[in-house]
Structure formats: structure tokens, C-alpha cells
Amino acid sequence: MPSANALRLQIEHDLERRFPAALTPAPRTIREVATTGIAALDQLLDGGLPVGAISEITGPVSSGRTSLALSFLAQRTREGRVCAWIGAGDSLDAESAATSGLELKQLLWAHCRDSSIPGSAAPGPSNATESSPIWKPRPQQPVWMRLDQAVRSADLLLQAGGFAAIVLDLGSTAPEHATRIPLATWFRFRQAADRCSLLMLGQAAFAQSGAASRARMRSPARRGKKRDRA
């Protein structure tokens, strides 16, 4: 009986003639990144946040999540690029955004509200079909209505293309609610990102393995930033 080493050599020899690409490793590529506008953080993130991928910016309230996202969008809009901010709460302040250097004329702001509020309405259906929805929220509860609008709005804008960066702000959403977003949704977003940087703001990591980069922000009492690359 031939040895394991002899069998391996025979298999490689056969594959080399029939499927030469099978034994040729794909070249490693360096993912394009965009600066956050914060030199110390860019150094930790090897140049900035990745383009065409999901980045998770997590941390408690007042930890600097929003400030980081605004700084990043400011860099992108100064380049004449169009960005979007999708908020499931009221964390974005237009005056603060302008003060940070963000060009508001280059920003699309989608403010999700309860559909029960007069004058508010949920966004139109996304490209997801009834047989394969993005996710299944719990109806008739304000928190689920806002979360549903935010997820579907992100899907709609990602599928539309043309945005250099999109912020999905779930910072005011309790982790027990946001963690119900299926992992398949984040993988769908990752595939649709293409040339767009999708920033997910939250109290915890929701995209998990769907994210290419993560930054955990600390409260003022514990100053500093901790970087975790996926």
C-alpha cells in the first residue's frame, strides 16, 4: 500500500495537470482604507476604516462613537463624496455635525420614527422578497418599528449604490433588541457594500463575523480606544 506521502504527491500531480489553478494560491490583496480624521485611531486601524466592508464602532453612551463617525464622514464629504446617516434614535445633531466639519449638503439623513406618529411613514420595500426577508421584526412595538425602518433603509441605500459611507446608528437600541438582527442580514450588507464603508454604531457588536473591523470605545472615565480587527 502506498504511503500517505506518495498518495499526496500523486494527487498533486493529477491536479496539476487537470486543475492547475487548484494548487495556485490566490494573491493576497490589501484592503483599501479611508482615514477617520483622527491620527491616533488611524494608526491603530492600519490607516483607517476599510472601504467596501462593515466596521463596528461600539461602546457605552458618551464614549465617542458618534464623534468618531462624524469625523469619518467629514473626511469623506470634504472629498465631495455623498454619505448617509441612518438613525434608529435621535443621536445625530445637525449643528454638531456641521461643527465637526461635515458638509451637510453631501449628507442624506434618514431619521426613523414610530409609524404611529402623525406624518411619519416606514420606507418602501427593499429588494428582499417575502420568501427571503432581510429579517423579521416584532410588529406593533415602537422599538421594533424604528429598528425595522433602519435595517430596511440601510439595505435600500446599499443596493442603490453611490454612497461613499453609510452610518447605521443603533446606539440608542438596547442590545437585546439589536442582537435579534440575523447574521445573514450583516452578510447581505457586506456583499452589497462594494465601494461603500458601512459603519455600525451600537452598544455591543451585532455584525460579529460580518464586520471587517471593530473599534471599542471607552467612556471618559476610562479614556483610550481599543482596537480589535476581525
Nearest in space to 54 (alpha carbons), one of 223, 192, 199: 199
In a domain, 26, yes or no: no
Give exposure, 90-109, as e/b (b: 16+ Cβ within 10 Å): ebbeeeebeebebbeebbee
Q: How many domains does the chain have?
A: 1
pTM exceeds cut of 0.95: no
In a domain, 71, yes or no: yes
In a domain, 66, yes or no: yes
Secondary structure (DSSP) of 110-152:
EE---TTSTT--PPPP-S--SSS-S--PPTT-HHHHHHHHHHH
CATH of the domain at 112: 3.40.50.300
In a domain, 24, yes or no: no
In a domain, 144, yes or no: yes
In a domain, 73, yes or no: yes
What percentage of the chain reaches a pLDDT higher than 90?
47
Helix (H) or strand (E) holding 97: helix 94-99
Q: How far apart are CA 14 and CA 176, in angstroms?
A: 53
What tens digit of pLDDT does each residue of 154-184 get? 999 999 989 999 999 999 889 999 988 999 9
Domain that holds residue 181: 32-229
Place of cell 461643527: 99
In a domain, 220, yes or no: yes
